[in-house]
Amino acid sequence: MCGLAGIFHSFSASESYFTQFFNFALSSLNHRGPDSCGTWIDSAYSYGVCHTRLSIVDQTGAANQPMFSNTGRYVLAFNGEIYNHLELRDQIKGYQWKSASDTEVILAMIERFGLNECVSRLSGMFAFSIWDRQKKELSIVRDRMGEKPIFYKYNQSSFSYASEIGAFFRHGETADDIDPMALHRYFNSGYVYGENTFWKDIRRLDPGSILTVSFHAPSRLKVEVQQYWSPTFHSQTDSFSGPEKYTSSIATLHGYLESAVRSQLEADVKVGVALSGGIDSSLVTALAQNASSSCINTYSVGFKENGYDESDYAGDVAKFLKTNHTHSKIESEDLIRITDSLPLIYGEPFADPAAIGCTYLGELAKKDGTKVLLSGDGADELFAGYSHYYYTRASVARRLSLFLGSETTESIREHFLEPIRGWMPEHSRFVDFLNHMCQSNDYLRSLLLTRIPGGVDALKGAKNIKDNDLLICKDSLERDLSFCKSMMLQELIISVPERHLTKVDRAFMRSSVEGRSPFLDKAVVGAAQSLSDEFLVNSSTNKRILKDILSIYLPKKLWDRPKQGFSMPIDVWLRTVLRDWADELLSVDSLSSHGLLNVDIIRQKWHEHQNGTKNHKRILWSVLMFQRWAKSLAL
């Protein structure tokens, strides 16, 4: 894990200009790579790159970056890990290796096979820049699932990029510089997705993409983006099904997961597992312990509030597997400190409260000397782990038809679901559920993007912002997939990279801890994509195939319970320990300072939440994260 930034001009730039750029970027990215840093300038073509290194594999100076290929043609700055780098080394005969790093393997692969072929063979997480000194061409590459971030900004004469938004030098921004599309998506979902960021002039590179910058004319640059990979699922007719195939699929997936965990345990530093006690992290822990000759290190975070603390479950799993387990509960002072820093950690508003627990978990691991944490991220979206995969429209309609004696789902909607919707409270979760039952498939899929019902009500002029969210997932809408797999595909495209992986990357890297996700391994993803719906969800359970693999290692009593996730007691905290902090950010003066929010609506929801008549935690949390970010920029 590292940080990188670079700049490419079509005009001549002074060395002092590059120095200023490097100093700001390196300072902003130091937490991503505190072990060493480096810079390089190609003054002949006005290109410069800088890199901060978190040394995980080959901790010697020979693996520092930016790194040159043997011929000197290519200059690489790399963030991430290549898990099959030893296998790839064996494929490159006669190369004079200077280090044991995976970074050098990427350079050798590009020099021997070219960029596209190199990327197709990589198994890992990565975002890297490669400067071709011969062609005077810059390429930026992001991994398939979007585990590693990369952002960029450009005009006709200048292109710059960085691992985090905070590395771009900015000064004197106003509310007019904010992208209205990003603002709308944020208050609808709690995070920004697609190419948009909160700033009009900064974009994020999509997962599975290669961006190329070259000279278009003597004083102009040309930027092109190609997608080399995108997630997909086999249709029901193409998927493997049947009892014999299920047994075979369990064995195949089990083998891939064992291999993925084993490869991701490899490091020259202390490695651990983030253990919540849920199915996904428990399976990763079990596989890691099975692959290790000694007790692995596991970490969990808890809360004092009843009903939110899963740490006892994590402790039971750790005890059964005999791991070296570390547990800590978040104290009030840590809660306030972390909450106040979240918008600064993420570089833009990010309203997933689980970021608090992830940030604290990274701090806990760092205190214990651990630099790598494996997690269970991605399993829910690949193996149908959420309840809305289980309660699909068709399955619920069938149950209702039996209950009501009706033969058609249309009559169920007309005579049962629609009337109930009429008298339920607006924005209730049950109304959302009924919408799932009553509307078209396009509408159902678009609802997956609405994580904060009524959230856009907090935003002035929200009705004037046109946002066709469905275009982002156009392929998933047009493919011949089951409803379950359509939902899974949309979440793989949007919420996995821009919510879950963003959450883990920024939270862990704030403490200079690298997060790894075995479920997002190239082979594991490929196996998941071929499974039929019946292997994922049946009449009694979801995440079926993972549960059957987990049962090999753990008794059912340790993991068979309703899914909780990394839930935070935000509603309670906003009435207690965070009340004063929130009250200041939600004051009339603070809410009015930038002119972007509906002050009266937000104030009303704040009062209703405080007096206990309603629970507005979702919309209030999104407003608070935005307000703290705006305050840090003096908007």
Domains of the chain: 2-227 (3.60.20.10), 232-568 (3.40.50.620), 570-632 (no CATH)
CA gap 624, 583 in Å, rounded: 9
Cβ-contact 50, 26 below 8 angstroms? yes
Model pLDDT, residue 593: 94
Token pair, residue 247, equals 């047994």
Residue with tokens 């078209």: 440
Block means of pLDDT (10 residues each) for the chain, length 635 residues? 92 87 95 96 90 95 95 97 96 92 97 97 98 96 98 93 90 81 92 93 96 86 95 71 86 98 96 95 98 96 78 93 96 95 94 96 98 96 81 51 49 50 45 48 52 80 62 54 80 92 97 98 95 84 93 94 73 95 97 95 96 93 96 86
CA gap 389, 486 in Å, rounded: 10
Model pLDDT, residue 391: 58
Cβ-contact 52, 34 below 8 angstroms? yes
Residue with tokens 């594999």: 57
Instruction: Indicate the pairing of strand 372-374 with strand 514-516.
Output: parallel
Model pLDDT, residue 79: 98
CA gap 109, 88 in Å, rounded: 8
Q: Is the dihedral of CA 586, 587, 592, 598 positive or negative?
A: positive
The pTM assigned to this predicted structure is 0.91
Cβ-contact 9, 54 below 8 angstroms? no
pLDDT, one tens digit per residue, over 584-619 is 999 999 999 999 999 999 999 999 999 999 999 999
DSSP secondary structure string, 600-615? HHHHHHHHHHHTTS--
